[in-house]
Amino acid sequence: MKSLTLAIALIGATATASAFAQSTTAPAQQNAAPTMQVAQNGTAAVNVAGSWVAPYGPATGEKTRAQVYQELVHAEKDGQLAYLNSTLYAH
């Protein structure tokens, strides 16, 4: 009984493992359904440890605490935070 359970688990693992594999080769034929493609940035971005680089567009520079605080004050004054709180963060 244990060998049957082990065999089913092994077959299930091998059958589903390929569903999560990422292929680096181009597909042989195009599907009729449109696929989402991300544009590659032509410039080489330097990836410093701990920094996040967007997968699209140029990388943004670092901000000081004062700059972030000014953006927060501006968002409160022009109503961006109130709009987000009433729509996105309402629940």
Domain edges within the chain: 63-91
Would you call 85 helix, strand, or coil by DSSP?
Answer: helix
CA distance 10 to 16: 10
Identity at 2, one-letter amino acid code? K
Q: How confident is the model at residue 4 (pLDDT cuts 50, 70, 90)?
A: confident
- 10 token code pair: 């092994």
Q: Enter the pTM of the model.
A: 0.36
**Does 77 have pLDDT greater than 90?**
yes
CA distance 42 to 58: 9
Q: How confident is the model at residue 58 (pLDDT cuts 50, 70, 90)?
A: confident
Give the pLDDT confidence score for residue 76 in this predicted structure. 95
